[in-house]
């Protein structure tokens, strides 16, 4: 009996380290990063349908040809040749224009969900190849966990799980455009270039202190996110082992060794910022959590 409905969870991500190491053909920047999936999830519900519809209730993200969920559905149908339709509802939990990969998570969730819904049996390699055509972070959103990510985001090396910790994530009132952030990097450069190799070794050793010591983001110096320094100062004062901006911004997060310290920091920051999230490392990527026949 065919499936009537699948529910997918797709984790957001944080950059434990982000360095810009050069340029690539096509105008892309060559990156070296450690990326971590976190327990802040987009939730997607997919059902067979006569047509193709995408809904994002409560979100101001437009459903237009640039929408990653819509692009993923079209790419899936194009690749498989399936003559079918799907109704997709995306319950967005990840802040927008935050550097947390919410759009990439949406695309990954659609690919995983449709693969299950239509019993297409595409491999992870096939899904990642489809995802790479939608956005640079989609392959990581599919794999999840902890990865060293290079190139334009298409070269992934899975790592052992991140040492146990908690993340307090603060999203300021104004987001950041990724193309504008990289344009500012091209104009201004950065004095900060984190040691991603050292951080990879810290992950492999399960050494949270060393991971935090090698954390950093080369885009932070030139970011147009004006509240980064103030949020980092608040996180540091609350006991964060490290604090930094994720991706191209604007979200900023602190790494805490234990749940109690993270909860106290989050409670303090919620007095000033509307969007404060408490999360843990997630060992997986986008996955089906419910399937109804």
| C-alpha span between 194 and 207 (Å, rounded) | 17
Say which residue the tokens 């004095």 belong to: 191
Q: In Å, what is the CA distance from 282 to each residue of 63, 128, 136, 163?
A: 28, 19, 20, 11
Could you say which of 13, 71, 92, 152 is catalytic?
13
| C-alpha span between 114 and 108 (Å, rounded) | 10
Choose among 92, 100, 108: nearest CA to 167: 100
Residue 260 gets the label, from left (phi > 0), alpha (psi -120 to 50) or beta, of: alpha
| C-alpha span between 60 and 97 (Å, rounded) | 12
Choose among 92, 212, 228: nearest CA to 170: 228
| C-alpha span between 129 and 198 (Å, rounded) | 29
| C-alpha span between 43 and 62 (Å, rounded) | 17
Residue 55 CA, chain-centre distance (Å), reads: 20
DSSP per-residue string spanning 257-273: SSHHHHHHHHHHHHTT-
Residue 13 known to be catalytic: yes
Could you say which of 19, 137, 154, 282 is catalytic?
137
Kindly state the DSSP code that residue 28 receives in the 8-state scheme: P
Active-site residue set: 13, 137
């Amino acid at each position: 009996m065919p499936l009537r409905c699948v529910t997918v969870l797709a984790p957001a991500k944080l950059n434990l380290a982000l360095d810009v190491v050069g340029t690539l053909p096509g105008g892309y920047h060559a990156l070296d990063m450690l990326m971590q999936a976190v327990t802040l999830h987009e939730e997607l519900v997919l059902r067979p349908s006569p047509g193709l519809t995408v809904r994002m209730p409560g979100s101001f993200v437009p459903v237009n040809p640039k929408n990653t969920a819509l692009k993923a559905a079209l790419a899936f149908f194009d690749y498989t040749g399936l003559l079918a339709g799907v109704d997709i509802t995306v319950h967005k939990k990840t802040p927008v224009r935050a550097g947390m990969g919410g759009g990439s998570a949406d695309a990954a969730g659609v690919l995983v969900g449709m693969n299950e819904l239509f019993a297409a049996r595409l491999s992870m390699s096939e899904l990642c190849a489809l995802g790479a055509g939608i956005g640079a972070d989609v392959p990581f959103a599919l794999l999840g966990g902890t990865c060293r990510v290079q190139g334009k985001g298409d070269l992934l090396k899975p790592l052992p799980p991140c040492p146990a910790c908690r993340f307090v994530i603060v999203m300021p009132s104004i987001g950041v455009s990724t193309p504008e952030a990289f344009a500012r990097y091209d104009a201004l450069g950065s004095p900060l270039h984190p040691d991603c190799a050292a951080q990879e070794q810290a992950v492999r050793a399960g050494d949270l202190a060393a991971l935090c010591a090698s954390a950093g983001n080369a885009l932070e110096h030139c970011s147009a996110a004006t509240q980064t320094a103030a949020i980092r100062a608040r996180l540091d004062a609350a006991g964060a082992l490290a604090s930094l901006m994720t991706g191209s911004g604007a979200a900023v997060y602190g790494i805490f060794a234990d749940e109690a310290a993270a909860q106290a920091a989050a409670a303090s920051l919620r007095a000033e910022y509307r969007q404060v999230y408490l999360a843990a490392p997630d060992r997986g990527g986008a996955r089906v959590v419910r399937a109804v026949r």
